[in-house]
Structure 1
Amino acid sequence: MNIQTNDIGHVIQLAIAPVFLLTGVATKLTVLTNRLARIIDRTRDLKLRLQQGPDRDIHEELDVLYQRWQLINYAITSSTACGFLICVIIACLFLGDTAGLPLDRYIAGMFVVAMIALIASFIFLLREVLVSFRYMRLHLHDPSGRSC
C-alpha cells in the first residue's frame, strides 16, 4: 500500500473539525466535573451538619443535591459518549482513507449519534441549572415574601 503525502494531508484536513469539537467536549466535561465536585462538597458539609441533629431543611437540600447529582452524571455520561464517538470518527477517517474502506455512512451515522449525545448533555446541564435556580429562588424569600 502506497500512501501519498497529499492523501494524508487531505485526511488531516478532514479530521481538524472533529478535533476542535473534541476540544469543546473536553472543556464541557471540565465544567461538568467542577459542578459535580461542588455538589459533592456541599453534600459532605450538609451531612456533617446532620450529625448534630435532624433538620428538615438539610434533608430538603440534600434531596435537591441528589437530583442535581443525577442530572450532572447523565450530562457527563452523554458528553463522554460524544467524545468517544468523535475519537472513533477521527480513527475511521484515517482508516477509511488509508485502507480504502467505504466508511462514509458509518462516519455520518456516528456523527449524528455524537451530536444527539452532545444535545442530551446540554439538556441535562440546563435541567440541572434550572433545578439549582429553582431551589435558590424558593429559599431567597421567607414565607412572608420578604427578601432575606
Structure 2
Amino acid sequence: MFNIPASNIAHIIQLAVAPVFLLAGIGGILNVVATRLARVVDRVRSLERDLPEADPDQLEVGMRELAILDRRMGVCHWSIALSTVAALLICLVVMILFITDLVALNFAIPVSLLFIAAMVSLTLGLSLFLFEVTIATRFVRVDEQYIMRRRLL
C-alpha cells in the first residue's frame, strides 16, 4: 500500500477533479440560498418588531406576509439541507475513489449509487430553490399605481 507509484495517485486525482468541481458548484448554490434565507429572516424580524404597534389593517397584511415568509424559510431550509447532503455524498464518492484505487477494491456499485443519491438530493434541493423563488415572486407584487406611473413616463 505504501509503494504506490505517483502515476496512480495522479490518476486518482484526475478521477476526483470532476466531483470537486461539482462541490464548488454546490457551494455556490448554498451561498445563494443562504443569502435568500438571511434576507427572509431579516424581513421577519422587521415585521415582528413593527406588528405590535400596527393598526388592524396593517396587522392583517403583516400576518399574511409572516405566514408566507415562514413558508419560504422552511423551503430554503430544506433546499440547503438537501444541497448539503448532496455535497456530503460527493465527498464520500471522492474518498471512496481514493480508497478503492489505493487498496485495489472494486466499489463501482457503491460509488455509482452514492453519485446517483447525490444527484437526486441536488435535484430536489434545486427544485425547492425554484419553488422558493416562485413563492417569492407570486406573493410580492409591485403596486399597480407604480407600474402605471412608470408607463406614463
Structures share a fold, TM > 0.5?
A: yes
Matched, 1:28 2:60: no
The aligned counterpart of 1:82 is 86
Question: What is the percentage of aligned positions where both structures have the same residue?
Answer: 35
The aligned counterpart of 1:114 is 118
TM-score norm. by structure 2 comes to 0.89
TM-score norm. by structure 1 comes to 0.92
The aligned counterpart of 1:57 is 61
Name stretches of at least 5 consecutive residues in structure 2 with no aligned partner. none
Task: Tell me which amino acid in the other structure corresponds to 2:74.
Answer: Q
The aligned counterpart of 2:129 is 125
Equivalent positions of 1:66-81 (< 5 A) are 66-81=70-85
Question: Distance between the aligned counterparts of 1:82 and 1:9, measured in 2?
Answer: 25
Question: What is the CA-CA distance between 1:147 and the residue it aligns to?
Answer: 5.3
The aligned counterpart of 1:140 is 143
Between Structure 1 and Structure 2, the one with more helix by share is 2
Name stretches of at least 5 consecutive residues in structure 1 with no aligned partner. none
Give aligned pairs, total.
144
The aligned counterpart of 1:101 is 105
Question: What is the CA-CA distance between 1:140 and the residue it aligns to?
Answer: 2.9
Secondary structure of residue in 1 paired with 2:53: coil
Task: Tell me which amino acid in the other structure corresponds to 2:24.
Answer: T
Question: Distance between the aligned counterparts of 1:68 and 1:29, measured in 2?
Answer: 15
Q: After TM superposition, what 4+ stretches of structure 1 lie above 2 angstroms from structure 2?
A: 139-142
Question: What is the CA-CA distance between 1:7 and the residue it aligns to?
Answer: 0.7
Question: Distance between the aligned counterparts of 2:78 and 2:105, measured in 1?
Answer: 35
Question: Distance between the aligned counterparts of 1:140 and 1:71, measured in 2?
Answer: 26
Question: Distance between the aligned counterparts of 1:48 and 1:106, measured in 2?
Answer: 51
Question: Distance between the aligned counterparts of 1:38 and 1:147, measured in 2?
Answer: 28
